[in-house]
Structure 1
Amino acid sequence: MGLMDNLKGKADELKEKASELAGRHNEQIDDVVDKAGHAVDKATKHKYSEKIEHGTAKAKHVVDDFATKPGDGTAD
């Protein structure tokens, strides 16, 4: 086992842990994404509202795809 194998193993372990945490805190992450979207929309004086809505929806979808519920064993 070389250094790269060890790093790959740690990276996989960290990805799985992040995925589990995202699953546990999915609603909180969605709330933060919404708040950030509203702040950006307000700062741009609603000039880019449609694009911001699209971006926040896409961000939530990515988090949902990444997240696994604790103990469901679906982490990649």
Structure 2
Amino acid sequence: MSFADNMKGFVDKGKQLAAENSDKIEDVVDKAGDFIDDKTGGKYVDKVDKAQEAAKKAIPDK
């Protein structure tokens, strides 16, 4: 197997694991956003919300 084949296998496995655990990943994204909002006093809440939405859209569907 070539290096490119190995990397494609790792990427495919990562996508599969992300799809299988999408609910857990979304929970972590929400908690991270809440943590940032808390630590910044909500100063960047709009930007944090946009980042959370983008992160959730990047999670593969089951």
Match of 2:14 in 1: 18
Moved over 2 A (4+): none
Q: TM-score normalised to the size of structure 2? A: 0.93
Partner amino acid, structure 2, of 1:32: V
Q: How many residues align?
A: 62
Q: Which runs of 5+ in 2 are unaligned?
A: none
User: Against the structure 1 CA distance between its residues 60 and 68, is the aligned structure 2 distance closer, same or farther, given a 3 Å change threshold?
Assistant: closer
Q: Which runs of 5+ in 1 are unaligned?
A: 70-76
Counting aligned pairs with the same residue, the percent is: 31
Cα distance in structure 1, aligned partners of 2:40 and 2:13: 36
Paired letter, 2:9: E
Which amino acid is 2:11 matched to? K
Q: How does 1:1-76 map to 2 (within 5 A)?
A: 6-63=2-59, 67=60, 69=62
Please tell me whether Structure 1 or Structure 2 has the larger radius of gyration of its CA atoms.
1
Q: TM-score, normalised by structure 1?
A: 0.77
User: Does structure 1 conserve the Cα–Cα contact (< 8 Å) formed by 2:22 and 2:61?
Assistant: no
* CA displacement, residues 28-54 of structure 1 (integer Å, 9 cap, x when unaligned): 000000000000010000001011011
